[in-house]
Amino acid sequence: MRRRIRKRGADVGTTGGQERSYRCGTPSLEEWDRRWKFSATDPDVTSDEYDTVWNEFEERLLGIGKRGYSKGCDFYFQGDNHGDRTQYLEIVNPEALTMGLIGHLQRWLKEPRYRQWRIIIITYVAKGAAPMVYPEVIRLGREYDGVTLADALADIVMRIKRGERV
């Protein structure tokens, strides 16, 4: 039997006898670091769908910076499927974390085929310092409330360069 209940702000559903917890909306990583859905009615992501979007996003990175995980590269998508429509962009070169990068990522997510996706920019500084890119909004943690996105990114870049790690 399929049932849906609300539990601590998360949508909980049963799929194939296995319980999975999802949160909808636009939470920051600080507020919710588990599975996410754009809408409670979205079907679960398949491995094929995840891999297809990962490949497409990886190819798009070539147009905006140097893709890869070695020294001299800017960033790369990790490709780790955690069971939801979240792609994880890891920053290699702190200088690559710019308003321009955020703008590119958000434009991709506004395309109809990607509207159910989000992108987390992994910085390893703090959960609140990991920009969450949604089609209509960029979210950061509470420490950046009232701070412009440009100023927040400048602070995060500085913290990465200083070697701050969680």
Distance CA 81, CA 87 (A): 8
Distance between terminal CA atoms of the chain?
41
Residue 88: strand pairing partners: 120
Over residues 23-69, the pLDDT tens digits come to 888 888 888 888 899 988 999 999 999 999 999 999 999 989 888 88
Question: What are the angstrom distances between the C-alpha of 100 and each of 39, 83, 149?
Answer: 28, 29, 12
**Torsion sign, CA atoms 135, 46, 69, 163:** positive
Tell me the H-state helices in 8-98. Answer: 47-61
CA-nearest of 109, 63, 110, 61 to 86 is 109
Distance CA 155, CA 131 (A): 12
153 contacts 131 by C-beta, under 8 angstroms: yes
Average pLDDT, the chain: 86
pLDDT of residue 13: 44
pLDDT of residue 20: 62
Distance CA 66, CA 61 (A): 7
Distance CA 24, CA 38 (A): 5
pLDDT of residue 92: 94
